Amino acid sequence: MARRRLARRQSMTKRVHSIAVIAGDGIGKEVIPAGIAALEAAMRGTGAELSFTELPWGCEYYGQCGRMMDRDGFERLATFDAIYLGAIGSPTVPDHIAVWDLLLPLRQRFQQYVNLRPMRLLPGLSSPLANRGPADIDMICVRENSEGEYAGLGGRLHVGTPHEVAEQTGLFTRHGIERIVRYGFETASRRPRQLLASATKSNALRHSMVLWDEVTESVAAAYPSVTLRKYHVDALAARMISHPQTLDVIVCSNLFGDILTDIGSALSGSLGIAPGANINPERDYPSMFEPIHGSAPDIAGKGVANPIGAIWAGAQMLDHLGHRDAHDRVVGAIERVIASGRSRTPDLGGQGTTRELGDAISSEI
Ligand code: NAI
Ligand code: MG
């Protein structure tokens, strides 16, 4: 492990970065090729390159093999510098199997405890909120990604009988809260507003969220330049709608972040735009980059999915691999193509296809 960790740290200065690609299901298969094309364009001329290895895992694979991924899947993935993921999920496989056989264990096993999700209204797009522009909606969510409500603990008893019971236990550790809150403060301290909102619910969740608040307060002492505000998550959800301009970095638990980032992506004009990075900051394991949307069975196969979430997540991957310039080139190209109105997919009110929008972004890069 120490050797792998060293290799991954050095991967920031490597000439070839090895990327495992799991396009997955539904529109995952449509948006990932657009992402790969954009990333290759962005790396051209940098002296470094990406080497992609496609892995056929997901629900279709489950249909053939009865498993979401190979038995040695984690061991194989651990050898890569990063993982690029489309989406997992299909009407043919129960969601809790699809998610628990691949996605959540991956985030946990590889200690990808930071889920970093920008929520930003790009110039040229309109938000569903009236009279709000890009200056009002520019937030980033730092979501706990390894424990909390999605720890997976619990069980069912007396299944199928009238007194059937299900228990789902949230698990919060001081260590887990401290590392995510610290990452939240670090993120806030690098942004101009130096503003951190902590999502809590310590009025009702009197054990887990009280610990959350206590740990947050104790970490805050090390970041005197950052203004910390504490909001109950329900009020924070409302605030994202009514006063989005008052929010910058949001740090929150796993479930809260899942919900708040769907609100944030809707405020940004479309779920199809929002990117997400699952980061293991210590680089002991590969980090994973994916659009936040799912496999969208309702539009899958039509070639009209918005590829921006996948392309932007790919840009986050370049940043993580040490190529901040290439990241900026990709995000800049997304911004210019959107601002020009050149190509828009139906979710953005246009008639363009995944390929047209993807090609427009790649050639802009
Ligand atoms: P979803 O994100 O797939 O779709 C929600 C709505 O947004 C749909 O109307 C869809 O057409 C639209 N949409 C999503 N991405 C879009 C894009 N790129 N361009 C245009 N429109 C887009 O969420 P849903 O329907 O709840 O889940 C569908 C499947 O995906 C389920 O099996 C679910 O478990 C899975 N899922 C997987 C995730 C992952 O792999 N990380 C995340 C969320 C859901
Ligand atoms: Mg979600």
271 CA from centroid of ligand 2 (Å): 10
The two tokens of residue 16 are 């070839």
Indicate whether residue 94 lines ligand 1 (CB < 6 A).
no
CB 216 within 8 A of CB 176: no
pLDDT at residue 13, as a whole number: 73
pLDDT at residue 297, as a whole number: 96
Closest CA to 20 of 278, 275, 323, 272: 278
CB 273 within 8 A of CB 266: no
Indicate whether residue 258 lines ligand 1 (CB < 6 A).
no
Residue 72 — φ and ψ, nearest 5°? -95, 25
**Ligand nearest to the Cα of 143, by number:** 2
pLDDT at residue 1, as a whole number: 62
CB 8 within 8 A of CB 82: no
Alpha-carbon gap, residue 119 to 137, rounded angstroms? 7
**What SS3 class is residue 21?**
strand
pLDDT at residue 99, as a whole number: 87
Alpha-carbon gap, residue 188 to 227, rounded angstroms? 9
Give per-residue burial for 333-347: e unless 16+ CB within 10 Å, then b: bbbbbbeeeebbbbb
Indicate whether residue 275 lines ligand 1 (CB < 6 A).
no
CB 164 within 8 A of CB 157: yes
- Say which residues have a Cβ less than 8 Å from residue 158's Cβ, sequence separation at least 6: 164, 165
Query: pTM, whole model, 2 decimals?
Result: 0.94
158 CA from centroid of ligand 2 (Å): 30
Alpha-carbon gap, residue 197 to 178, rounded angstroms? 15
The two tokens of residue 354 are 């995944």
Question: Judging by beta carbons within 10 Å of its beta carbon (0-12, 13-18, 19+), is residue 263 exposed, middle or buried?
Answer: middle
Q: Cα angle vertex 274, ends 129, 311, to 5°?
A: 140
- Say which residues have a Cβ less than 8 Å from residue 69's Cβ, sequence separation at least 6: 55, 57, 61, 101, 102
Residue type at position 145: N
Sign of CA dihedral 111, 120, 186, 331: positive
DSSP string for residues in 305-333: ---HHHHHHHHHHHHHTT-HHHHHHHHHH
Q: Over its length of 365 residues, how does the chain's per-residue pLDDT go in tens digits?
A: 666 676 676 667 779 999 999 999 999 999 999 999 999 999 999 999 999 999 999 999 999 999 999 999 999 999 999 999 999 999 999 998 888 888 888 999 999 999 999 999 999 999 999 999 999 999 999 999 999 999 999 999 999 999 999 999 999 999 999 999 999 999 999 999 999 999 999 999 999 999 999 999 999 999 999 999 999 999 999 999 999 999 999 999 999 999 999 999 999 999 999 999 999 999 999 999 999 999 999 999 999 999 999 999 999 999 999 999 999 999 999 999 999 998 999 999 999 999 999 999 999 99
Indicate whether residue 95 lines ligand 1 (CB < 6 A).
yes
